[in-house]
Amino acid sequence: MSSDTDIYKHQNFGNHLGIGEKAALLIVDFVNGFDDPDQFGGGNVSEACDNTVPLLAVCRDLNLTIAHTRVVLAEDGSDDNIMAIKVPALKTLTEHAECSQIVDRLTPRPGEIVVRKRVPSAFFGTDLAANFTMRRIDSVLVTGCTTSGCVRASALDAMCWGFRPIIVTDCVGDRAVGPHEANLFDLKQKYAELMTRDEIISELTSRQARTVE
Protein backbone atom coordinates (compact mmCIF):
# COMPACT_ATOMS: atom_id res chain seq x y z
CA MET A 1 0.00 0.00 0.00
CA SER A 2 1.39 3.40 -0.94
CA SER A 3 1.87 6.09 1.70
CA ASP A 4 0.06 9.42 1.73
CA THR A 5 3.19 11.16 0.49
CA ASP A 6 3.84 8.90 -2.52
CA ILE A 7 1.57 10.80 -4.91
CA TYR A 8 3.10 14.13 -3.85
CA LYS A 9 6.61 12.79 -4.28
CA HIS A 10 5.72 11.30 -7.68
CA GLN A 11 4.40 14.69 -8.81
CA ASN A 12 7.47 16.51 -7.39
CA PHE A 13 5.76 18.35 -4.56
CA GLY A 14 7.33 19.16 -1.21
CA ASN A 15 10.60 20.65 -2.39
CA HIS A 16 12.98 22.45 -0.04
CA LEU A 17 12.71 26.22 0.42
CA GLY A 18 15.08 26.99 3.25
CA ILE A 19 15.49 30.31 5.01
CA GLY A 20 16.54 33.10 2.67
CA GLU A 21 18.95 35.95 3.28
CA LYS A 22 16.81 37.96 5.73
CA ALA A 23 14.06 36.53 7.92
CA ALA A 24 11.34 38.08 10.06
CA LEU A 25 9.43 36.46 12.91
CA LEU A 26 5.63 36.55 12.65
CA ILE A 27 3.66 35.70 15.81
CA VAL A 28 0.03 35.15 14.85
CA ASP A 29 -2.75 35.79 17.41
CA PHE A 30 -1.11 34.58 20.59
CA VAL A 31 -3.58 36.61 22.63
CA ASN A 32 -5.24 35.82 25.94
CA GLY A 33 -8.41 34.47 24.38
CA PHE A 34 -6.53 31.87 22.37
CA ASP A 35 -4.43 30.94 25.38
CA ASP A 36 -7.64 30.00 27.21
CA PRO A 37 -9.35 26.68 26.36
CA ASP A 38 -12.65 28.08 27.64
CA GLN A 39 -12.59 30.85 25.03
CA PHE A 40 -10.79 30.18 21.74
CA GLY A 41 -7.92 27.89 22.74
CA GLY A 42 -7.40 24.29 23.72
CA GLY A 43 -5.44 21.50 22.08
CA ASN A 44 -1.77 22.42 21.80
CA VAL A 45 -2.22 26.20 21.47
CA SER A 46 -0.83 27.14 24.91
CA GLU A 47 2.08 24.72 24.48
CA ALA A 48 2.93 26.33 21.14
CA CYS A 49 2.75 29.74 22.81
CA ASP A 50 5.18 28.61 25.51
CA ASN A 51 7.52 27.19 22.88
CA THR A 52 7.61 30.54 21.10
CA VAL A 53 9.05 32.39 24.11
CA PRO A 54 12.68 31.24 23.64
CA LEU A 55 12.45 31.70 19.86
CA LEU A 56 11.32 35.27 20.36
CA ALA A 57 14.23 35.87 22.72
CA VAL A 58 16.74 34.61 20.15
CA CYS A 59 15.18 36.66 17.35
CA ARG A 60 15.38 39.74 19.54
CA ASP A 61 19.03 39.06 20.32
CA LEU A 62 19.71 38.74 16.59
CA ASN A 63 17.80 41.96 15.82
CA LEU A 64 15.34 40.28 13.49
CA THR A 65 12.19 42.12 12.47
CA ILE A 66 9.35 40.90 14.71
CA ALA A 67 5.64 41.24 13.99
CA HIS A 68 2.73 40.31 16.26
CA THR A 69 -0.91 40.08 15.20
CA ARG A 70 -4.22 40.52 17.01
CA VAL A 71 -7.77 40.05 15.80
CA VAL A 72 -9.48 43.36 16.60
CA LEU A 73 -13.11 44.08 15.72
CA ALA A 74 -15.01 47.29 16.42
CA GLU A 75 -17.04 47.40 19.62
CA ASP A 76 -20.05 48.80 17.75
CA GLY A 77 -20.06 45.96 15.21
CA SER A 78 -19.40 48.32 12.31
CA ASP A 79 -16.70 46.10 10.78
CA ASP A 80 -18.25 42.70 11.49
CA ASN A 81 -17.55 40.35 8.59
CA ILE A 82 -18.21 36.83 7.35
CA MET A 83 -15.80 35.35 9.89
CA ALA A 84 -17.69 37.08 12.70
CA ILE A 85 -20.96 35.67 11.38
CA LYS A 86 -19.48 32.19 11.25
CA VAL A 87 -17.95 32.50 14.74
CA PRO A 88 -19.93 35.18 16.64
CA ALA A 89 -17.70 34.89 19.73
CA LEU A 90 -14.94 36.60 17.75
CA LYS A 91 -16.89 39.85 18.17
CA THR A 92 -15.56 39.96 21.73
CA LEU A 93 -12.03 40.54 20.37
CA THR A 94 -12.16 44.32 20.54
CA GLU A 95 -9.34 46.79 21.02
CA HIS A 96 -9.44 47.00 24.81
CA ALA A 97 -10.90 43.59 25.64
CA GLU A 98 -8.66 41.44 27.82
CA CYS A 99 -9.13 38.45 25.52
CA SER A 100 -7.68 40.42 22.60
CA GLN A 101 -4.45 41.44 24.36
CA ILE A 102 -1.20 39.70 23.47
CA VAL A 103 -0.17 37.25 26.20
CA ASP A 104 2.20 38.66 28.82
CA ARG A 105 5.00 36.21 28.02
CA LEU A 106 5.16 37.51 24.43
CA THR A 107 4.49 41.19 25.11
CA PRO A 108 5.76 43.28 22.19
CA ARG A 109 8.67 45.58 22.80
CA PRO A 110 9.00 49.11 21.41
CA GLY A 111 9.89 48.93 17.73
CA GLU A 112 8.15 45.60 17.13
CA ILE A 113 5.27 45.59 14.66
CA VAL A 114 1.74 45.01 15.98
CA VAL A 115 -0.80 44.24 13.27
CA ARG A 116 -4.52 44.58 13.94
CA LYS A 117 -6.49 42.37 11.57
CA ARG A 118 -10.14 41.46 11.04
CA VAL A 119 -9.69 38.29 8.97
CA PRO A 120 -7.43 35.23 9.24
CA SER A 121 -4.45 36.48 7.20
CA ALA A 122 -1.90 38.82 8.75
CA PHE A 123 -1.41 40.33 5.29
CA PHE A 124 -4.96 40.86 4.01
CA GLY A 125 -6.06 44.47 4.49
CA THR A 126 -2.89 45.41 6.38
CA ASP A 127 0.43 47.03 5.47
CA LEU A 128 2.52 44.09 6.70
CA ALA A 129 3.71 43.03 3.23
CA ALA A 130 4.80 46.57 2.41
CA ASN A 131 6.55 46.83 5.76
CA PHE A 132 8.44 43.59 5.19
CA THR A 133 9.34 44.59 1.65
CA MET A 134 10.70 47.94 2.87
CA ARG A 135 12.93 46.03 5.28
CA ARG A 136 14.09 43.66 2.50
CA ILE A 137 12.62 40.62 4.26
CA ASP A 138 12.56 37.49 2.08
CA SER A 139 11.50 34.82 4.60
CA VAL A 140 8.86 34.74 7.32
CA LEU A 141 9.15 32.48 10.36
CA VAL A 142 5.51 31.76 11.18
CA THR A 143 4.36 30.96 14.72
CA GLY A 144 0.96 31.29 16.34
CA CYS A 145 -2.55 29.94 16.16
CA THR A 146 -4.50 28.33 14.83
CA THR A 147 -2.57 26.11 12.44
CA SER A 148 -5.65 25.43 10.33
CA GLY A 149 -6.87 29.03 10.41
CA CYS A 150 -4.87 32.22 10.80
CA VAL A 151 -1.46 30.51 10.61
CA ARG A 152 -2.37 28.80 7.35
CA ALA A 153 -3.94 31.94 5.88
CA SER A 154 -0.92 34.05 6.83
CA ALA A 155 1.52 31.49 5.41
CA LEU A 156 -0.39 31.32 2.12
CA ASP A 157 -0.49 35.09 1.79
CA ALA A 158 3.20 35.35 2.69
CA MET A 159 3.92 32.98 -0.19
CA CYS A 160 1.64 34.96 -2.52
CA TRP A 161 3.56 38.14 -1.67
CA GLY A 162 6.85 36.44 -2.49
CA PHE A 163 8.11 35.69 1.03
CA ARG A 164 9.29 32.21 1.95
CA PRO A 165 6.96 30.91 4.68
CA ILE A 166 8.80 28.86 7.31
CA ILE A 167 6.32 27.19 9.67
CA VAL A 168 7.82 26.66 13.12
CA THR A 169 6.14 23.33 13.77
CA ASP A 170 6.29 23.28 17.57
CA CYS A 171 5.40 26.97 17.82
CA VAL A 172 2.06 26.71 16.01
CA GLY A 173 -1.01 25.17 17.59
CA ASP A 174 -4.64 24.30 17.06
CA ARG A 175 -7.56 23.40 19.29
CA ALA A 176 -7.72 19.95 17.67
CA VAL A 177 -4.85 17.66 16.65
CA GLY A 178 -6.40 16.49 13.37
CA PRO A 179 -6.60 19.91 11.69
CA HIS A 180 -3.17 20.80 13.08
CA GLU A 181 -1.46 17.77 11.56
CA ALA A 182 -3.41 17.84 8.29
CA ASN A 183 -2.54 21.48 7.66
CA LEU A 184 1.12 21.02 8.48
CA PHE A 185 1.20 18.16 5.97
CA ASP A 186 -0.49 20.22 3.26
CA LEU A 187 1.59 23.33 3.88
CA LYS A 188 4.78 21.29 3.64
CA GLN A 189 3.81 19.71 0.34
CA LYS A 190 2.63 22.86 -1.44
CA TYR A 191 3.38 26.19 0.15
CA ALA A 192 5.91 26.36 2.96
CA GLU A 193 8.98 25.00 4.69
CA LEU A 194 8.54 23.16 8.00
CA MET A 195 11.22 23.46 10.68
CA THR A 196 11.27 22.98 14.44
CA ARG A 197 12.10 25.82 16.78
CA ASP A 198 15.48 24.35 17.66
CA GLU A 199 16.37 23.82 14.00
CA ILE A 200 15.61 27.46 13.29
CA ILE A 201 17.52 28.72 16.31
CA SER A 202 20.53 26.61 15.26
CA GLU A 203 20.37 27.94 11.70
CA LEU A 204 20.01 31.57 12.74
CA THR A 205 22.74 31.49 15.37
CA SER A 206 25.12 29.64 13.04
CA ARG A 207 24.63 32.32 10.41
CA GLN A 208 25.27 35.03 12.97
CA ALA A 209 28.47 33.32 14.08
CA ARG A 210 29.69 33.13 10.47
CA THR A 211 29.11 36.82 9.92
CA VAL A 212 31.10 37.69 13.06
CA GLU A 213 34.11 35.59 12.08
The whole-angstrom separation of Cα 70 and Cα 95 is 9
Task: Give which of 162, 121, 153 is closest to 17, Cα–Cα.
Answer: 162
Q: Where are the beta strands (DSSP E) in the chain?
A: 23-28, 65-71, 113-117, 139-145, 164-173, 193-195
Reply yes or no on whether 99 is catalytic. no
pLDDT band (50, 70, 90) for residue 1:
very low
The whole-angstrom separation of Cα 51 and Cα 46 is 9
Question: Please, what's the largest Cα pairwise distance for the chain?
Answer: 56
* Marked catalytic residue, from 49, 99, 145, 150: 150
The pLDDT score that the predictor gives to residue 36 is 98
pLDDT band (50, 70, 90) for residue 5:
confident
Instruction: Write out the H or E segment, with its range, that includes residue 162.
Output: none
* Interval 45-62: pLDDT, tens: 999 999 999 999 999 999
Q: Supply the pTM of this predicted model.
A: 0.96
Assign 49 to helix, strand or coil.
helix
- The CATH fold of domain 20-212: Rossmann fold (3.40.50)
What are the extents of the domains in the chain? 20-212
The pLDDT score that the predictor gives to residue 89 is 96
